[in-house]
């Protein structure tokens, strides 16, 4: 296939130093490997052919073969053989390049064999051998036809845009971001009258009308900030000749891909002709509106079917366009409420060819509605048919408003006439009634129609009519308003009136008659008379009482004479004036009195104060002052009035009572202090007595007779302690120093324990004991368990004590208002009716002398006070010889978290501690107290250290380092409180268990000892079993009992331990329930003989039965069940 080359003279580019295709000679020189060079050539993006000096092909690229449409077997063949039609000038170029020249062309048309034309870029360069000699030439060519076509198309589009830009019928401009013209077309130049070069030196601000510039710049800023994508507006330019040009401006903003603004694109359309037409139309409508305003009429025409071709005057008034108003479109300007009736009237007139007349409201161009009267008539042809309709709409708005105003005025006037309770009449100059209200007619017993048009002589009796008519003539003659009182009668009642008559004038001031208002003041007159009589009675009452009545101005100052105040204090008018009254107030009361008085003045509230005022003889007397503000009709204060009442005798009585109360409280306090101190002094030796009694009871070396005598000592001491506790309880209750200490506990277990305690005592007397518990009662309650048990045991014990035969019934159920009722019913001797209240008094007892000696007479008094603390009271019903019922109802909240009361641990005598010798420090200033503790604890394995006061105790804490401290409270040098505080504040000993033991009966001491850090409180005299329980609790001990059985520390409920056989336990329980103490003693002996490990239990049972301790026996037996 032959190769065609460009026909241009190739010599023009021979020897060029630059070209589209770079010089690859260095690359070729470096490619000594033919394979590597061929690979590079094959994949080149341009067509490449390498020839030797004889123009034979050494290597060609695939691109060369494709573009020149030759086969790949041309290597070694001559270029001229393959392309024999190469012109001579190209052969010459080849020869020039073989001697070192370079030839190239950036673009050149290249005709193909098939006649198509392509564009190529080519280059011919020599290549050199390794020795530097020219080995041949390299031909490079690239087909750029597609790029050339794209460039030509772009040029064509640019030319089209240029022609469009230049020949467009609207102005087109490009502007910089600052507003300078960058590119403008001829149309825009023609619009503004400037040459292109002149505009390029200006900004759009330079030729914009000043009144439009601000709005234009605002749009520009919004466009730049991206708030709007484009904007359009009508504005004015200033022509080069100075004239104003109206244009429509559309502006958009060209942005880069990043969003950065580049320049504005604007199109401008000359709208001068349209604006002139609008102005002309506006001026035309204004002329029509002026014509309508001047004539108050709108003229219109319509065809035979009632359609209007056009209504220029209607358009001018309403602002509707021609297209909106033609036919029946004018109805849209009619008020919605009037539109239907207007349409109906118009269509009826058209159909009947009758006169059209209607009133309606039309909306003007300003949006407001005005009343018009529409009137239209048909214009007939010669044959009598309708040719057209002509009519007018006449403005009647002012007349309508006047009519409405008159109507409203009449309604208002009638409302005023009828709403007032007064009699109102209007008469003309000759005295005829022209207007009146219904009150007038009602008073005269006539109708309004009966009175209108008549004069007074036709309405009233002659003598009254003459006086009234004379007064009317006087008012008309003088023109002066006058008010006076008069008495009138309607034949039924005689009334007092106050009448005001005034001249009735027209707009010019001429008197047309009179207007009279008459008010019935009969009630007021009667009230004035009653007030006058009341003031006289009040004045007499004041003079007869021990009160000082006074009044002040709104600011609280005396500005009028106060005769009663002067008479009492002896002050003169001048001394009393203003605030001089304060000088008579006692110096100690003056500040408080002034403060209360000023507060009442400021807050407009009632003034109340107790103060002392000096009498004229120098004596101060107590007064209760009270003052109230008297208000005007507008709620402002007119004056203050008040009275000071002498309360000297009452105050003296109150002072005496206060002193008596203070003395009584002091006596009560002294009594309480005495009893508390006496209790402390009694408890202190009792601690030694009972303590050593318990120590001796634990001895194994006593004979039975000696043990019995020790038991008597212990029982006598315990009885004495009970008496002391009762007396203290009563004393504390009377001094109101007893507070309930509620806790959550198990109600059934609590009641069962109380019932079992009392059952044995009842059965010992061979009386029946019945215990009845309602099933619906709560399981857990919140109450003061100790105090509730104290009350119930006292009431049950009394019932058993005073019952010789029959029964005692203990019932717990629901009473009124959801309260729990505790009731004790017995068949005892009863209480006399005159003693039912006395039995609740301290030291009072009912019954025979034998029974009275069995107690202190304090139990019921204490129980009643405790129940009163529970917001209840103990009630009693009794009949001599029949029995008694005691009951009380208390509100006991239900509890969710409760703990059963544990029974005492009675496992035998404690003889040791398992695997430990705890160290206990005893701090007490009394040797006997320390000795009791030491002798109780040392034999069973405790290491004991002693201290005589808190200071020594603190030193022993460091020296002895105890596991537990047992301390008294009241000691010299450093008391128990100080010792506890030091221990708790130390890092080394802060966790030591501390038990406080004191003979103090003050609950504050007990609470305080726990607040400062004590773990528990143990009252003196100390009970050994209580001491052992607390030691086990806080030291987590395991006792070793006499039978050498270890017992782990119990849980909250009873812990079941190994015990005598259950058959023996059952027998013991039955004997205990029957109160058979002799049987219990025999059974205990049998148990001791069964096995020596039961000896401690048997001894305990023997001891308890011998001392009739039924409660402890039952508790011990239950612990083994």
Express each pLDDT in 10-20 by its tens digit: 333 333 333 33
Q: Break the chain into its structural domains and give their ranges.
A: 10-145, 168-270, 285-401, 420-525, 545-646, 655-732, 740-890
Count Cβ neighbours within 10 Å for each residue of 819-848 and write b for 16 or more, e otherwise. ebbbbbbbbbbbbeeebeeebbebeebbbe
Classified as helix, coil or strand, 369 is strand
Q: Is 180 exposed, middle or buried (0-12, 13-18, 19+ CB in 10 A)?
A: middle
pLDDT higher than 80, residue 810: yes
Under a CB-based contact definition with an 8 Å cutoff, are residues 3 and 94 in contact?
no
User: 248: pLDDT confidence band, cut at 50, 70 and 90?
Assistant: very high
Classified as helix, coil or strand, 878 is strand
Ranking 46-60, 96-110, 1031-1045 by mean pLDDT, the lowest is: 1031-1045
CA-based torsion, 924, 927, 931, 934: positive or negative: positive
Ranking 148-157, 382-391, 948-957, 985-994 by mean pLDDT, the lowest is: 148-157
- ∠ CA(528), CA(529), CA(533), 5° rounding? 115
628-654 pLDDT per residue, tens: 998 888 888 888 888 888 888 888 888
pLDDT higher than 90, residue 979: yes
What is the assigned CATH class of domain 168-270? alpha beta
User: 921: pLDDT confidence band, cut at 50, 70 and 90?
Assistant: very high
- ∠ CA(438), CA(439), CA(443), 5° rounding? 115
SS (H, E, C) 897-930: CCECCCCCCCCCCEEEECCCCCEEEEECCCHHHH
Under a CB-based contact definition with an 8 Å cutoff, are residues 374 and 396 in contact?
no
Highest-scoring range by mean pLDDT, 418-432, 848-862, 999-1013:
418-432
Instruction: Provide the CATH number for the domain formed by 740-890 in this structure.
Output: 3.30.565.10
CATH 3.40.50.300 holds for 285-401: no
Q: Which residues contact 349 (CB under 8 A, 6 or more apart)?
A: 355, 356, 376
Highest-scoring range by mean pLDDT, 731-735, 897-901, 1067-1071:
1067-1071
pTM of this structure = 0.34
For position 1095, what pLDDT does the model report? Answer: 80
Rounded CA-CA distance 645/654 in Å is 16
Q: What are 284's two structure tokens? A: 């035309």
Rounded CA-CA distance 437/969 in Å is 98
User: 531: pLDDT confidence band, cut at 50, 70 and 90?
Assistant: low
CA distances from 18 to 15, 23, 103, 141 (A): 9, 9, 9, 15
User: 350: pLDDT confidence band, cut at 50, 70 and 90?
Assistant: confident
pLDDT higher than 70, residue 29: no
Rounded CA-CA distance 193/961 in Å is 117
- Whether 285-401 and 420-525 share one fold: the answer is yes
pLDDT higher than 90, residue 175: yes
The fold adopted by the segment(s) 10-145 is Beta-Lactamase (3.30.450)
Dmax (CA) for the chain in angstroms is 171
Going by C-alpha positions, the residue among 589, 564, 590, 562 that lies closest to residue 578 is: 562
First and final C-alpha spacing in the chain: 131
Rounded CA-CA distance 681/700 in Å is 32
Q: Provide mean pLDDT across the span 911-940.
A: 91
Q: What are phi and psi of 592, to 5 degrees?
A: -65, -40
H runs (alpha helix) in 704-784: 704-734, 747-764
Q: Provide mean pLDDT across the span 976-988.
A: 94
Q: Which residues contact 609 (CB under 8 A, 6 or more apart)?
A: 592, 593, 596, 597, 624, 625
Instruction: Provide the CATH number for the domain formed by 655-732 in this structure.
Output: 1.10.287.130
Under a CB-based contact definition with an 8 Å cutoff, are residues 805 and 762 in contact?
no
HSE of 1114, CA atoms in CB hemisphere, 13 A: 20
What is the assigned CATH class of domain 420-525? alpha beta
User: 537: pLDDT confidence band, cut at 50, 70 and 90?
Assistant: low
Q: Provide mean pLDDT across the span 850-856.
A: 46
Q: What is the mean pLDDT of the chain?
A: 81
Tell how strand 1039-1041 and strand 1046-1047 pair up.
antiparallel
For position 538, what pLDDT does the model report? Answer: 53
* Structure-model confidence comparison of residues 965 and 905, the more confident one: 965
* Structure-model confidence comparison of residues 1085 and 949, the more confident one: 949
Q: Provide mean pLDDT across the span 982-1000.
A: 91
Q: Provide mean pLDDT across the span 431-445.
A: 86
Q: What are phi and psi of 167, to 5 degrees?
A: -100, 5
Q: How many CB atoms lie within 10 A of CB 177?
A: 12
- The architecture (CATH level 2) of 545-646 comes to 2-Layer Sandwich (3.30)
* Structure-model confidence comparison of residues 486 and 587, the more confident one: 587
Under a CB-based contact definition with an 8 Å cutoff, are residues 913 and 942 in contact?
yes
Going by C-alpha positions, the residue among 187, 991, 1022 that lies closest to residue 687 is: 1022
653-711 pLDDT per residue, tens: 888 888 877 776 666 666 556 656 665 666 667 666 766 677 776 777 777 666 666 76
User: 249: pLDDT confidence band, cut at 50, 70 and 90?
Assistant: very high
pLDDT higher than 90, residue 854: no
């Amino acid at each position: 296939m032959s190769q065609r080359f460009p026909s241009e003279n190739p010599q023009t580019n021979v020897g060029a130093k630059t070209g589209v295709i770079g010089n690859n000679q260095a690359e070729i020189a470096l490619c000594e490997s033919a394979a590597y060079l061929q690979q590079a050539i094959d994949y080149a993006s341009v067509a490449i052919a390498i020839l030797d000096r004889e123009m034979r092909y050494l290597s060609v690229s695939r691109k060369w073969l494709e573009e020149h449409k030759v086969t790949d077997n041309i290597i070694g063949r001559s270029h001229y053989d393959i392309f024999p039609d190469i012109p001579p000038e190209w052969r010459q170029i080849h020869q020039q390049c073989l001697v070192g020249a370079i030839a190239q062309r950036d673009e050149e048309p290249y005709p193909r064999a098939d006649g198509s034309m392509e564009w190529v870029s080519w280059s011919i360069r020599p290549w050199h051998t390794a020795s530097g000699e020219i080995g041949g030439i390299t031909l490079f060519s690239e087909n750029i036809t597609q790029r050339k076509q794209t460039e030509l198309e772009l040029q064509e589009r640019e030319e089209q845009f240029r022609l469009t830009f230049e020949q467009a019928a609207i102005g087109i401009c490009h502007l910089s971001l600052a507003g300078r013209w960058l590119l403008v077309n001829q149309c825009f130049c023609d619009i503004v009258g400037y040459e292109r070069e002149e505009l390029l030196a200006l900004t759009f601000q330079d030729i914009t009308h000043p009144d439009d510039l601000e709005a234009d710049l605002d749009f520009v800023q919004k466009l730049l900030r991206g708030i709007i994508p484009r904007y359009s507006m009508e504005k004015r330019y200033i022509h080069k000749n100075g004239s104003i040009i109206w244009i429509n401006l559309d502006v958009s903003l060209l942005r880069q891909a990043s969003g950065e603004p580049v320049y504005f694109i604007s199109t401008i359309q000359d709208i001068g002709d349209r604006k002139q037409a609008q102005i002309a139309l506006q001026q035309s409508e204004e002329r029509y509106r002026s014509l309508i305003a001047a004539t108050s009429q709108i003229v219109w025409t319509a065809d035979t079917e009632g359609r209007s071709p056009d209504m220029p005057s209607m358009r001018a008034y309403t602002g509707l366009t021609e297209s909106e108003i033609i036919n029946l479109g004018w109805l849209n300007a009619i008020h919605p409420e009037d539109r239907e009736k207007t349409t109906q009237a118009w269509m009826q007139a058209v159909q009947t060819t009758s006169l059209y007349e209607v009133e309606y409201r039309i909306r003007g161009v300003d949006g407001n509605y005005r009343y018009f009267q529409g009137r239209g008539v048909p214009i007939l042809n010669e044959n009598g048919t309708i040719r057209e309709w002509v009519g007018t709409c006449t403005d009647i708005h002012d007349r309508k408003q006047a009519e409405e105003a008159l109507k409203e005025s009449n309604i208002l006037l009638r409302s005023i006439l009828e709403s007032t309770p007064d009699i109102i009449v209007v008469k003309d100059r000759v005295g005829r009634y022209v207007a009146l209200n219904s009150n007038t007619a009602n008073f005269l017993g006539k109708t309004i129609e009966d009175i209108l048009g008549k004069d007074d002589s036709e309405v009233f009796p002659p003598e009254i009519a003459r006086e009234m008519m004379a007064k009317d003539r006087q008012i008309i003659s003088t023109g002066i308003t006058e008010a006076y009182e008069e008495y009138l009668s309607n034949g039924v009642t005689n009334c007092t009136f106050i009448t005001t008559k005034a001249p009735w004038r027209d707009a010019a001031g001429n008197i047309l008659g009179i207007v009279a208002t008459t008010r019935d003041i009969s009630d007021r007159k009667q009230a004035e008379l009653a007030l006058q009589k009341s003031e006289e009675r009040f004045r007499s009452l004041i003079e007869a009482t021990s009160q000082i009545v006074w009044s002040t101005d709104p600011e609280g100052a005396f500005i009028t004479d106060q005769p009663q105040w002067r008479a009492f204090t002896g002050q003169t008018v001048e001394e009393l004036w203003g605030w001089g009254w304060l000088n008579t107030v006692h110096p100690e009361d003056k500040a408080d009195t002034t403060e209360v008085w000023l507060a009442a003045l400021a807050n407009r509230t009632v003034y109340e104060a107790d103060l002392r005022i000096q009498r004229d003889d120098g004596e101060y007397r107590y007064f209760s002052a009270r003052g109230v503000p008297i208000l005007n009709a507008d709620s402002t204060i007119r004056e203050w009035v008040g009275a000071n009442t002498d309360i000297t005798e009452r105050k003296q009585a109150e002072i005496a009572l206060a002193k008596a109360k203070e003395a009584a409280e002091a006596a009560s306090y002294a009594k309480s202090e005495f009893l508390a101190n006496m209790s402390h002094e009694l408890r202190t030796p009792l601690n030694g007595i009972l303590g050593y009694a318990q120590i001796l009871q634990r001895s194994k070396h006593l004979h039975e007779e000696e043990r019995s005598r020790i038991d008597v000592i212990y029982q006598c001491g315990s009885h004495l302690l009970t008496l002391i506790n009762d007396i203290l309880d009563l004393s504390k209750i009377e001094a109101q120093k007893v507070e309930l200490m509620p806790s959550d506990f198990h109600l059934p277990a609590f009641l069962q324990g109380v019932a079992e305690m009392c059952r044995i005592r009842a059965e010992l007397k061979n009386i029946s004991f019945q215990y009845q518990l309602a099933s619906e009662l709560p399981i857990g309650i919140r109450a003061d368990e100790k105090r509730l048990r104290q009350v119930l045991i006292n009431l049950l014990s009394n019932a058993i004590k005073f019952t010789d035969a029959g029964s005692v019934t203990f019932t717990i159920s629901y009473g009124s208002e959801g309260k729990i009722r505790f009731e004790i019913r017995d068949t005892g001797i009863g209480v006399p009716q005159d003693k039912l209240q006395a039995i609740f008094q301290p030291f009072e007892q009912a019954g025979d002398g034998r029974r009275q000696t069995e107690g202190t007479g304090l139990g019921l008094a204490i129980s009643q006070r405790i129940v009163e603390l529970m917001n209840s009271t103990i009630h009693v019903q009794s009949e001599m010889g029949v029995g008694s019922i005691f009951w009380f109802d208390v509100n006991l909240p239900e509890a969710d978290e409760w703990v059963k009361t544990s029974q005492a641990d009675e496992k035998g005598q404690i003889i040791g501690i398992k695997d430990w010798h705890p160290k206990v420090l005893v701090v007490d200033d009394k040797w006997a107290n320390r000795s009791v503790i030491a002798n109780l604890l040392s034999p069973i394995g405790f290491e004991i250290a002693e201290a005589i006061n808190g200071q020594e105790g603190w030193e022993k804490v460091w020296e002895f380092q105890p596991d537990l401290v047992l301390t008294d409270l009241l000691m010299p040098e450093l008391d128990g409180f100080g010792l506890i505080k030091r221990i708790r504040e130390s890092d080394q000993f802060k966790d030591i268990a501390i038990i406080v033991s004191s003979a103090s009966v003050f609950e504050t001491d007990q609470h305080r000892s726990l607040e400062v850090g004590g773990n528990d409180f143990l009252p003196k005299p100390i009970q050994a079993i209580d001491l052992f329980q607390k030691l086990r609790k806080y030291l987590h001990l395991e006792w070793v009992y006499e039978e050498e059985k270890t017992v782990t520390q119990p849980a909250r409920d009873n812990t079941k331990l190994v015990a005598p056989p259950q058959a023996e336990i059952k027998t013991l329980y039955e004997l205990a329930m029957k109160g058979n103490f002799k049987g219990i003693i025999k059974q205990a002996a049998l148990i001791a003989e069964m096995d020596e490990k039961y000896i401690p239990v048997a001894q305990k049972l023997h001891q308890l039965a011998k001392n009739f301790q039924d409660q402890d026996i039952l508790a011990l037996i239950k612990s083994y069940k």
